Amino acid sequence: MLSPQPFIFPSNLSMTISFNNPLLSSSFLHQPLNSPTFPYVSIFFPKISNPISPNRYIPIKSITKASMESRNPTQRRSSSPRKFKPRHGTSRRSTLKKSLSQEQVDFTKPVPEDPVVGIIGGGMSGLTCALQLEKRGIRSTVFDTGIHGLGGRMGTRMIDHQPLIFDHAAQFFTVTNPKFAELVDGWLKRGLVREWLGTIGELEVGGHFVPFPSKPTKYIGVNGMRPLADSLLSQTSLVNVVRPCWVSTLEPFNGTWHLSEKGKPCGQFDAIVIAHNGKCANRLLAASGLPLIARQMKRLELSSIWALLAAFEDPLPTALNAESLPFEGAFVKGVDSVSWMANNTKKLLASDSGPECWTFFSTATFGKQNKVPQESIPTTTVDKVKEAMLEGVEKALGLSKSSLQKPFFTRLQLWGAALPTNTPGIPCIFDPRGRAGICGDWLLGSSLEAAAISGIAVADQIADYFEQGGPCTDEFAIGLHDEYKPLEGHDIGQFLGLESVDQTTTPALTLAT
């Protein structure tokens, strides 16, 4: 059985373009107003179980961050506790210490009849979580940092002034899980995805190509992966989307979660779901009152991957021989700087004319060796990485040194937290005491399917919990103490059944040069 193509990249990225031609963070104690503990505090902090009655939900299909801020009732009359400047710094060591020493929040307030869930992250897992919650009759708001659209690692780049298109994250996916198959069937009926019929296989250094068999079916977004993500919520009625928005603070107060972005209120919710990972998620959880969830998230280890998008005036020499079609996607073996290459022009446009748009991914080892701060990539690193990756493409295709044509367009970006390298092997994490959950591909593996199944799982867990009235019980706890194990697979993710090809039955073919 085959596992789907992973979507491999987070939304926090840096890129360089070049053209060669034109508050239970630490639980507040109940103290009298004249308590020596808080001698200057002029507000009383009620118990977490006390009810509040601000408007918790904005009944708008899709809203911008600005409209969310203008409509949020907490701007007119704040019901959140006052902010206190932390005494510690923001180093990784202090963040780790703070997250592990924080007190556990306990929600005892009954869940309202019409609860609302806040979902932080609009990738595949966050979107399927919202969809499944709607199926269970539960409203939600999805907060996403994407400027161009939803999707997280389902990224597609369109260059408007050129006929250029690139899937620069998830490349394709396959289906093995029945629940995911049901979701994909709906996409097929709506014309959002189709089968990728191009030749895909393994390319060994020197131009030795081994094609994969046609089965299992490999799917791609009809117009790239990004439109698929944007269309997921197009027919929903109980889901709001707020973007671009980077939720920076979680505060449990009066029985609900208060979310904010750099001090600006984003609303309050009866439960929350963290649908992203990496150091930003770790910072978010460090003072949240969720030590068990924070600990599990911190155990996750992630690799780094460079992505090089390149457009060439003439086709690259990828024909197997004079009688066969050129390949459209290949896992590269034996090259230090390149692990995958795909022809987006053939894959997405099925075009034989015009420039060829290629996506190249580095190996995880190369990414680690050349990792730099994503916020400011030095020009020298850009030049070095680009040169090394193009040389790797040249070696993989079996071309002579310096014979690869120079691309007229390139864009390089670093996915600093690309792929999980370990996993607890569970569908989701949920803390019933704190009414908070986690979903993501890394909980089950590293694939688009794993992300979708994780989002569905955490939604069902929350819905079941709500149906019981939201008891503060460990009966609904999942994943809070599971151990991690190493995660194996390709440098761009897991492909069960595609790890190797029996070369005794499928002969290798040398590229014509």
Q: Residue 458: is its pLDDT beyond 90?
A: yes
* Domain 101-150+232-301+421-501 shares a fold with domain 160-176+194-223+303-417: no
Residue 324 pLDDT: 58
Sequence ranges of the domains in the chain:
101-150+232-301+421-501, 160-176+194-223+303-417
**pLDDT tens-digit map of 208-258:** 999 998 888 899 998 888 888 878 877 788 999 998 888 999 999 988 999
What is the distance between the alpha carbons of residues 342 and 361, in angstroms, rounded to a whole number?
A: 9
Q: What is the mean pLDDT of the chain?
A: 78
Q: Residue 71: is its pLDDT beyond 80?
A: no
CA 152 to each of CA 8, 9, 294, 478, 494: distance values in angstroms, whole numbers, following the listed order: 9, 7, 21, 25, 18
Is the distance from CB of 191 to CB of 144 less than 8 angstroms? no
Average pLDDT over residues 427-441: 96
Q: Residue 311: is its pLDDT beyond 50?
A: yes
Q: Residue 510: is its pLDDT beyond 60?
A: no
Residue 125 pLDDT: 94
Residue 498 exposure: Cα atoms within 13 Å on the Cβ side: 30
Is the distance from CB of 419 to CB of 491 less than 8 angstroms? yes
Residue 322 pLDDT: 53
More confident of the two residues 111 and 54: 111
More confident of the two residues 373 and 33: 373
CATH topology of domain 101-150+232-301+421-501: FAD/NAD(P)-binding domain (3.50.50)
Strand ranges for 35-192 from DSSP E? 116-120, 139-143, 156-159, 164-167
What torsion do the CA atoms of 46, 48, 54, 57 make, to the nearest 10 degrees?
160
Q: Residue 492: is its pLDDT beyond 50?
A: yes
Average pLDDT over residues 358-366: 96
Residue 506 pLDDT: 40
CATH topology of domain 160-176+194-223+303-417: Polyamine Oxidase; Chain A, domain 2 (3.90.660)
What is the distance between the alpha carbons of residues 28 and 340, in angstroms, rounded to a whole number?
A: 51
- Where is average pLDDT lowest: 141-150, 213-222, 454-463? 141-150
Share of residues in the chain with pLDDT > 90 (%):
50
DSSP 349: I
- The distance from CA 164 to its chain's CA centroid, rounded to whole angstroms, is 24
Is the distance from CB of 355 to CB of 406 less than 8 angstroms? no
What is the distance between the alpha carbons of residues 242 and 61, in angstroms, rounded to a whole number?
A: 10
Counting Cβ atoms within 10 Å, is residue 403 exposed (0-12), middle (13-18) or buried (19+)? exposed
Q: Is the dihedral of CA 35, 41, 42, 47 positive or negative?
A: negative
Is the distance from CB of 364 to CB of 491 less than 8 angstroms? yes
**pLDDT tens-digit map of 251-296:** 999 889 999 988 899 999 999 999 998 888 898 898 889 999 999 9
Residue 490 pLDDT: 75
Q: Residue 307: is its pLDDT beyond 90?
A: yes
Kindly report the number of other CB atoms within 10 A of residue 204's CB atom: 18
Residue 117 bridge partners (DSSP): 140, 271
CA 263 to each of CA 74, 75, 259, 260, 266: distance values in angstroms, whole numbers, following the listed order: 11, 11, 9, 6, 9
Residue 35's pLDDT band, with cuts at 50, 70 and 90, is very low
